[in-house]
Structures are given as structure tokens and as C-alpha cells.
Structure 1
Amino acid sequence: MCQTSHSINCTMASGTTTIASSSPSAPPYHQIRALYDDDTITVYQAYSAAIADAAVAAQRLDASPLFRAARMTWIKPSWGWMLYRAGYSFKDARQERILAIRVRRACFLGLLARAALTHHRHPAPGAGTTTTTTTTTTEKQGEEGDQGELEVRGRGEVVRVQWDPERTVRLERLGHRSIQIGIPGALAAGWVESGIAGIEDVTGRARELKRTLDRDPGVSDQQLVELGLVPVERPFEVSEELQDLLGMR
């Protein structure tokens, strides 16, 4: 259990074991894909240089006084979507440093268990027009606005989830969705204290990837993986209960 009165359940619940799928077919419209192992799952977020430097040095996301725990922090497990959001780290000086944050698996699942969708679920193509009614927010997020950190006003301990169009590492829009997870200020202390296993600055990797793509537009995805510029993200399966909660089926 995370050490805070507003705690995240960091105990692995039954039925939430993750499984890597080897299916060669196109990804499901709503699916969590990530770099993960038995203990952690890697998510990304971009910060200013001051926040990033302090976080990496101390291995604590809140090491800098500039980190505002009262704001909602959005994390994403998709490397391609992070590159798109930050423009390979060149888009915004406030998000010029990309951090790879290894979250303990049980805490990641605990966050998902507290989730509510931010808007109507996007139905998969060909699935009809039915949508799931969900909580809406006043801020525009994802592709429509700044998703770095949003003010929390009376949202308590609800984790926000939204599904945005997935992106390739070339920033091309794909036909399926990528999950974005918003951690409210009420849960930030517990998540920072006991939910994070490690923090790495991967800005250099993002910029080298951009240089490689500019220099050799025909480079294959497999070559980028072999160069260490693109992680291998596998499907991260969750229980049917979480699938329903997250609008995945």
C-alpha cells in the first residue's frame, strides 16, 4: 500500500496478471501497449530541464520545488505518442526533457482500478454508434491542448483515462488508440513515494531518433529497435473488469 492517506492499492489483485500477446493481427482499437517486465511498466512524461534534472539525480519525481504535486500529471506508455506530444522534445521549452518512469506494476494496476474515462468512449470502426457515457472535463486534453499537467479542482482521487490516436515514431497517426493516464494531486504523493521504481532521462534518445529519421527516412522500425532508439512495446493485458472500466470492450 502506498504510504499516504490517499493511497493507491499496490498489492497485485487476482485476475490482473498481464500477458504478452503474440498475435500478428492489427492491434485492437483500445489496447494498452508498453515496455514492461515482471515488476514494472515504463511510462513517459515531459518536463522542464529543472524538474527533470532534479528528478533523475534524486530518483524522485518531486525532487524539484518546481514540481507541482497539486496538479494532475498525465503519463503515457506509448513512446510514439510521447514523441508526438513533445515533438521529439523540441516542441515546448516547458517539456524539453522526456523522462522514462518505471512504475511498479501493482501500483500501475492500482491507478487503473481508480480510473474514469474523461469523455465518451470512441467506438471502434465498424462497431456502431453506441458510446459509453462517462465523466467529462472542462480542459481540452490530448491532441486538443496541453496535457502536461492540468489543475485539479475537486476531482478527488479519481484517475482520468482517455484514449487518443496512437502515433508511430515518425509521428504518423494510426487507426487505433493509445491510453493516457491522468494522476490527480490527491494521489500524487503516494505514487511518487512508492509507485516509482526508477527514472531515466531519454531526451537524448528522442533527439537521436529524430536525427536518424532525418538522415535516413527509409530506415526500418527493426533497425531503429536494434539501434536502441525504439523500445519493443507489447500488449499489456488486464482483467475483464478493468477492460470494462477503461472502455476497452
Structure 2
Amino acid sequence: MNQIRADFDARTIVVYQAYAPAIAKPAIAAGRFVPPFSRTRMTWIKPSFLWLMARSNWAQKSGQEHVLAVRISRAGWEEALAAGVLTSHVPRSIRDPDEWRERFAAAAVHIQWDPERSLRGADLQQGSIQVGLSRHIIDRFVDQWIVDITDLTPLVRKIHGHLKSGQEARAKALLPPERPYPLSPALARTIGATA
């Protein structure tokens, strides 16, 4: 089952990213991404907090020491999804493999589903979406979609501390809220969502 679960309200959605201090600290101070953040390479945004915790090893991996909650407009999020092409061929989204290859090569946005993760990093039987924004659309992300950037690193360390000391209930209580994100049938088909 591929389902977007996220922290969202009527106008905005939270996506997560992990960066080195050189990128994260200026972004936190400015409330938007500023140099040395690069607008010329793909940046990946993820609405699953636990997927990013597994990927960044709770902000302990080199270059991923700061976890940012990037609140963007739902209009921008859905614009990105609508422009997206899956990173692997799924006939339900694009029937012809040759057409998929052509569209993927030209896509401004790449969509990838990876296994969702549990609190302890176990692979769950559910897809978790990653959205790759290329240099062709990244200006819109930085200049128009972002509403706010929050440094979640202290929270990440607190949750991880509870986990390490065996206090799973305390760790779970601090997780950001995530619930199923509503998609139109056409958008769900485009991105390969199944729920």
C-alpha cells in the first residue's frame, strides 16, 4: 500500500529534510533556503518523519546532523506531485514503458516510494513517498512554496534519547502527528498511490 501520511492543515503540509550545519543554520535563521543551499541539484522532500529518522540515523549521519521541518503550501505540494513521474515504471500510472522513459527523463519532479519505517526503523509493509525537486522547479519551492522552516534537531535528540533508554511510549508521544493526506483519483494515479 502506497499512502501519503503527513502533518498538514487546510493550507500547508510539513515535509522533512536533513542537512549539515552549513546549510541548515542559515536556512533556520532566514526562514528559507539560502546559500550554500544549491538550487542547481535535486533536493528530496519527505512527509514521513520516521522515514527520515531511519535515513539520517536520528540526525547522526555525517551531512544530516540537522533535521528541518519545512512547512510548504499544499498548492505547491500538489503542483509538485502533479508534475511528478515515478522513478520506476508502473503501468497503472503510465502504460507504455517507452513513454514512461521519455517522461521520466524530462520530468521536473521524481516520485519514489520506499518502505515506511517504524519507531525503531523496521521496514513496514507500506510505501512512504519521497519527492525529488529538480533544478527546473526548485526556485518555486524555495521562493513561493515555503511558509516556514523549523529546526527539529532538539526534538529528534530527545525522542532518540527516550528510545535508547527503553522509554518507547515517551518517544512515541513526541512524534509529529501524521494522518492520511487526501488525493484526487487522478493525482493518486499519477504518483502511484494505492490508498
TM over 0.5: same fold?
A: yes
Q: Which runs of 4+ in 1 moved over 6 A?
A: none
Shift of 1:156: 5.3
| Contact 1:157–1:187, Cα closer than 8 Å, also in 2 | no
| Contact 1:35–1:231, Cα closer than 8 Å, also in 2 | yes
Q: C-alpha distance in 2, partners of 1:198/1:122?
A: 37
Shift of 1:170: 1.4
Q: Which residue of the other structure, out of 119, 125, 133, is the alignment partner of 1:169? A: 119
Q: Which residue of the other structure, out of 236, 239, 245, is the alignment partner of 2:181? A: 236
Shift of 1:104: 0.5
Tell whether 2:139 aligns with 1:189.
Answer: yes
Shift of 1:203: 1.1
Q: How many residues align?
A: 189
Q: Which residue of the other structure, out of 148, 153, 169, is the alignment partner of 1:203? A: 153
Q: C-alpha distance in 2, partners of 1:122/1:181?
A: 19
| Contact 1:132–1:247, Cα closer than 8 Å, also in 2 | no
Q: 1:69 to 1:168 in 2, by over 3 A?
A: same
Shift of 1:91: 1.6
Percent identity for Structure 1 against Structure 2: 38
Output one character per residue of 1:104-153: Cα deviation in whole Å (capped at 9) or x when no partner.
01111111110100113499xxxxxxx984449xxxxxxxxxxxxxxxxx
Q: 1:216 to 1:119 in 2, by over 3 A?
A: same
Task: Look up the SS of the partner of 2:148 in the other structure.
Answer: strand
Tell whether 2:89 aligns with 1:117.
Answer: no
Q: Which residue of the other structure, out of 89, 93, 106, is the alignment partner of 2:59? A: 89
Shift of 1:207: 1.3
Q: C-alpha distance in 1, partners of 2:177/2:185?
A: 25
Shift of 1:157: 5.2
Output one character per residue of 1:46-94: Cα deviation in whole Å (capped at 9) or x when no partner.
1110110100101111x22x211100000100000010110001022x1
Question: Aligned letter for 2:177?
Answer: V
| Contact 1:44–1:78, Cα closer than 8 Å, also in 2 | yes
Structure 1 length as normaliser, TM-score? 0.71
Q: C-alpha distance in 2, partners of 1:132/1:83?
A: 36
Question: Aligned letter for 1:67?
Answer: F
Q: C-alpha distance in 1, partners of 2:164/2:177?
A: 22
| Contact 2:114–2:128, Cα closer than 8 Å, also in 1 | yes
Question: Aligned letter for 1:35?
Answer: D
Structure with the bigger percentage of helix: 2
Q: What do you get for the CA RMSD once the two structures are aligned?
A: 2.2
Q: C-alpha distance in 1, partners of 2:105/2:41?
A: 11
Question: Aligned letter for 1:101?
Answer: V
Q: Which residue of the other structure, out of 64, 67, 75, is the alignment partner of 1:106? A: 75
Task: Give unmatched runs, 5+ long, in structure 1.
Answer: 1-28, 124-130, 137-153
Task: Give unmatched runs, 5+ long, in structure 2.
Answer: none
The match for 2:37 is: 67
